[in-house]
Structure 1
């Protein structure tokens, strides 16, 4: 896919996420790998609802700005995910309300923040990790992401927001939406002893759809 189409897709999907209230103000950022190994990323202080295709930041394979506006301060976060998760072709980071709320709960397991609540959560997100709090743009977050060794496509940054990598921009957006809805379900059902998918049901999904998820004992939930 050429740069022009990628730019249009970033703006189209960014606006959709913004208009549905999934990331307020100028929060959130999106990046996509380009055919030459570089990537396109949304600029700093840019609302995902009002992106200009011509002003998107174009970086080379080393992360150096080639053209466009100054990139998001979260470039280290995106770089670390691309480096450790070789299948990633796009990354979406939002400040969606329910995912942020779950990231603030002391009870969650940092290696599996959400239980296996629905088949589509497992199919789109797999298992979600929690990374400790770092201030936005802190280069140290890259080391925390690298510590996950590329095992997770979906991550919550504590007190900050979700990050999802996908093998295409649409896949990353769909997974992000599924993560947010699952976080919402978790909060709605918290304390009500809901019925989750059993380990056997999770294994059936893994085998049927060829899912690659980190090993985890779901009985922990």
Structure 2
């Protein structure tokens, strides 16, 4: 995909997420791999609702900023996914309400933040790791992702928000939407006698769709 088309796609999907209230103000960031091995990244402090394709940050294959506005201050988070999951073509980070709320509850499973409620949450996300709180922009966030050694495509930063790595931008957005909707379901069903997926059903999904479930 050309840089021009990728720039348009980033702005299109970012505005879609913003318009639906999945991240607000100047929160959230997106990066996507370019044909030459570099990255296009949403600028620091920018609003997903009014991105300018020409002002997106352009990084070369070595990670150097070569054009556009300065990139998000959370580049360490993005770079950690690209370096540990070689199939990563895009990273999406939001401050979405329900995933962030789930990260604040004392009884949330840190190894698998989302209960196994629907097949698509498992197929698109695998297990979602809850990471500790870090101040925004702290390079330690990248270290925390690297410590997972590529075993997770999605994490949630406690009291902050979810991050998803995927093969391309569209897949990343779809996976992020699935994460937020499943977190919403989990909160709606708290205290109810809900029927989740069985161990056998999960095992079949993991086997058929080659899901990260270790």
TM more than 0.5? yes
C-alpha separation between the residues in 1 aligned to 2:31 and 2:132? 22
SS at match of 1:99: helix
SS at match of 2:144: helix
| TM-score, normalised by the number of residues in structure 1 | 0.95
Alignment-derived partner of residue 44 in structure 2:
44
Alignment-derived partner of residue 106 in structure 2:
106
Alignment-derived partner of residue 174 in structure 2:
174
Q: State the shift of 1:64 in Å.
A: 1.1
C-alpha separation between the residues in 2 aligned to 1:90 and 1:100? 21
Write out per-residue CA displacement over residues 157-186 of structure 1, whole angstroms, 9 at most, x where no aligned residue.
000000001101000000000000000000
Contact 2:205 2:211 in 1 (8 A): no
Segments of 4+ moved more than 2 angstroms:
none
Alignment-derived partner of residue 218 in structure 1:
none
Q: State the shift of 1:14 in Å.
A: 0.3
- Give runs of aligned pairs for residues 77-116 of structure 1, distance below 5 A: 77-116=77-116
C-alpha separation between the residues in 1 aligned to 2:14 and 2:57? 15
Q: State the shift of 1:207 in Å.
A: 2.3
- Give runs of aligned pairs for residues 79-158 of structure 1, distance below 5 A: 79-158=79-158
**Alignment gaps of 5+ in structure 1:** 216-221
Is 1:165 equivalent to 2:165 in the alignment?
Answer: yes
Alignment-derived partner of residue 212 in structure 2:
213
| TM-score, normalised by the number of residues in structure 2 | 0.98
SS at match of 1:87: coil
SS at match of 1:130: strand
- Give runs of aligned pairs for residues 8-87 of structure 1, distance below 5 A: 8-87=8-87
C-alpha separation between the residues in 2 aligned to 1:32 and 1:78? 9
Write out per-residue CA displacement over residues 15-55 of structure 1, whole angstroms, 9 at most, x where no aligned residue.
00000000010100000011111100000110011000000
Q: State the shift of 1:151 in Å.
A: 0.7
**Alpha-carbon RMSD:** 0.8
Q: State the shift of 1:208 in Å.
A: 2.5
C-alpha separation between the residues in 1 aligned to 2:131 and 2:100? 12
SS at match of 2:16: helix
**Alignment gaps of 5+ in structure 2:** none
Q: State the shift of 1:191 in Å.
A: 1.3
C-alpha separation between the residues in 1 aligned to 2:107 and 2:87? 31
Aligned positions, number: 214
Contact 2:122 2:211 in 1 (8 A): no
C-alpha separation between the residues in 2 aligned to 1:10 and 1:75? 16
Q: State the shift of 1:62 in Å.
A: 2.2
